[in-house]
Structure 1
């Protein structure tokens, strides 16, 4: 829940930034000069890209949370039984040690969203965020 609150806070900050950029873009467009118009158009395009990326990331987070809750209802998640530090994070060596079965399960069942989500969670525990996101994206696509 903490991560969701952080994501909402960042979304609100980005939304405020986008509003400020759009007001500056309008001011540049009203100058009537070609350079001002060019800067104004560029400032309008950048917030659109930012808004698209923000919505995309929020949807990813919501879909991943939904699938993780479904998987948690079916049984324990990867890392639930691993030793943890005082901070609550899983010990990295323990996460690396149990990673392999999840990778093998995803290879054995390439069309099973559960196997891919477990693999994504295992990657996350091992600290490989890029592969974790890719595996979770695949799980989301397979769950549809």
Structure 2
């Protein structure tokens, strides 16, 4: 729940920032100076990129959570028995020891979104967020391409 609140707060702050940048860009575009106009048009690009990144990330989170819920309903989520560090995160050494099991599951069935999602959870437990997102994106793509 804390992560969801933090995500919403960060998204709201980004939206606020994008509103201010867009407003400043409009002020610059309406200026009489040519350089100010050029900077204003350049600033219009930044809110567009920021909005695109925000929307893409929120869509990723919603789709990932949907898959996690479905996997949980099916009883396919891995049981979390990893020891915890004082921060509450899983001990990376213990997570790394369990990782080969999930990697082998994906190698055995590379077309399974469930295996890819579990691999993403294993990457996350090991502290490799970049690969966790990559594996989760793969799971989402496989789920979306599967026949209904």
Q: How many equivalent pairs are there?
A: 144
- TM-superposed CA distance for 1:78, in Å, is 3.3
Q: Could you list the runs of 4 or more consecutive aligned residues of structure 1 that deviate by over 6 angstroms after TM superposition?
A: none
> Are residues 44 and 25 of structure 1, via their aligned partners in 2, closer, same or farther at CA, if it must alter by over 3 Å?
same
Cα distance between partner residues in 1 of 2:31 and 2:91 = 58
CA deviation vs aligned residue, 1:67-116 (integer Å, no higher than 9, x gap): 11111222263351222234432222211111001001111111100000
Correspondence 1:73 to 2:73: yes
Does the aligned pair in 2 maintain the 1:77–1:118 contact within 8 Å? Answer: yes
Task: Please name the residue that 1:114 is paired with.
Answer: 114
Task: Please name the residue that 2:139 is paired with.
Answer: 139
Task: Please name the residue that 1:11 is paired with.
Answer: 11
The TM-score with structure 1 as length reference comes to 0.94
Alignment of 1:1-144 (within 5 A): 1-75=1-75, 77-78=77-78, 80-144=80-144
The TM-score with structure 2 as length reference comes to 0.92
Unaligned runs of 5+ in 1: none
Instruction: Supply the RMSD in Å over aligned alpha carbons.
Output: 1.3
Cα distance between partner residues in 1 of 2:2 and 2:11 = 14
> Are residues 95 and 117 of structure 1, via their aligned partners in 2, closer, same or farther at CA, if it must alter by over 3 Å?
same
Does the aligned pair in 2 maintain the 1:78–1:122 contact within 8 Å? Answer: no
